[in-house]
Amino acid sequence: MNKTDLIVILGVTATGKTKLATHLAEKLNGEIISADSRQVYKGMDIGTGKDLNDFVVNNKQIPYHLIDIKNSGEEYNVFEFQKDFLDAYKIITDKKKQAILCGGTGLYLEAVLKGYRMLEIPEDKSLKKQLELKNNQELIQILQQFKPLHNTTDTEDKERLIKAVEIATYQENNKDLMADFPVINYQLIGIHFEREEIRQRITARLAHRLENENMIGEVEMLLKNGVSAEKLKFYGLEYKLVTAYLLNEITKNELFTKLNIAIHQFSKRQATWYRKMEKNGFNINWIDGNLSLEEKVNEVIRLLTSR
Query: What are 254-296's pLDDT values in tens digits?
Result: 999 999 999 999 999 999 999 999 999 999 999 999 999 999 9
Angle at the Cα of 94 from the Cα atoms of 297 and 34, rounded to 5 degrees:
50
Averaged pLDDT, 108-126: 87
Residue 151 falls inside a structural domain: yes
Residues 228 and 298 in one domain: yes
Residues 110 and 193 in one domain: yes
Please choose, from the candidates 13, 74, 87, the residue with its C-alpha nearest in 3D space to the C-alpha of residue 42. 74
Residue 109 falls inside a structural domain: yes
Query: What are 13-37's pLDDT values in tens digits?
Result: 999 999 999 999 999 999 999 999 9
Domain span holding position 199 = 6-116+181-305
Residues 104 and 192 in one domain: yes
Beta bridge partners of 96: none
What phi and psi values does residue 270 have, to the nearest 5 degrees?
A: -60, -45
Residue 262 falls inside a structural domain: yes
Residues 62 and 187 in one domain: yes
Angle at the Cα of 68 from the Cα atoms of 247 and 177, rounded to 5 degrees:
115
Produce one character per residue of 115-141: b if its CB has 16 or more CB atoms within 10 Å, e if not: eebbeeeeeeeeeeeebeebeeeebbe
Decide which of 173, 207, 241 is a domain's last residue.
173
Number of domains in the chain: 2
Residues 189 and 228 in one domain: yes
- The model carries a pTM of 0.85
Decide which of 134, 157, 173 is a domain's last residue.
173
